[in-house]
Structure 1
Amino acid sequence: PSTIAFQPEGTNTAGDLGAAASLTYTNRNLFRGSEQLSIELRGAYEAITGLEGYQDQNYTEYSVEGKLVFPRFLAPFLSRNFRRRQTANSELSASWNLQNRPEFHRRVFSTAWRYRWTEPRHHLAWRFDLLDLNYVYMPWISETFKRDYLDNAENRNAILRYNYED
């Protein structure tokens, strides 16, 4: 019930070439009840061209994601009859993403608790996110990016500025 998968990728973003790879471990019967655990490690690199005023011209990204899926509702507040009638699963996940761009460095932590279920009789599928949290931290923003996009009165965009400030 366990697998390991390796997936290489080639990327082309606006003419900038790069490569990425992911390694995923999956166990499809973790607690002997069809629970599925998956852990994915991912890395990416992109050679960015055409940026002026930046020291580093490359983009790197590293991430790890863990996911645990239970083939049933994990919810004590639902009636037994409702849980029995639905084809459902409960998903717990957490991820950490590290991005180093020429313009800024960003760290993102995410966690979620989701429910998915279907009603085959009515051909309906539902998804309810009980918890979906994202924490974004930017330890460094280049002076060029600040000057050109955040502080420049002609290019000032309140939403953009808000997203890159503490």
Structure 2
Amino acid sequence: MELPTLPFYWCSQQRLNQQLARQREQEARLRQQWEQNSRYFRMSDICSSKQAEWSSKTSYQRSMHAYQREKMKEEKRRSLEARREKLRQLMREEQDLLARELEELRLSMNLQERRIREQHRKLKSAREEQRKLIAEQLLYEHWKKNNPKLREMELDLHQKHVINSWETQKEEKK
């Protein structure tokens, strides 16, 4: 029995395909290796340039300037907060003082009002007393004028007085 054989060109074609596939794989591996190496060197270059930049004198000075600026900002903030607290304290003290002054003023106004009311009451009672006296005097005058017995007595008294005056005048003439 005879074994089936493959034509020669099929074998060479298959080998050629395999060889091309291996070659492509190897090229891909080499490209990948190249990219990895390139990335590594790029990163290494970046790291070394950053390291050089960070360790340079200008970077140190920039860093110190930034630190000083931050320190000054913090100091200004603390100073501002201290001033604000001092102003708050002064405002509280001033408000307390104003409240005390208002209370004293209110008390003095109440005292003054009480004094004025007392003075008004005294004046009113004095006026009332004077009015009562005048009213009593007027009533007395009215009573005196309109009382017939009193008028009669006054008339008698007046007549006696007139008579006495005449008699004294007569005696003086003699």
Q: TM class by shorter-chain length?
A: under 0.3
Q: Higher Cα Rg: structure 1 or 2?
A: 2
TM-score (norm 1): 0.17
Larger relative contact order (CA 8 Å, sep ≥ 6): 1
TM-score (norm 2): 0.17
Which structure has the highest helix share of the two? 2
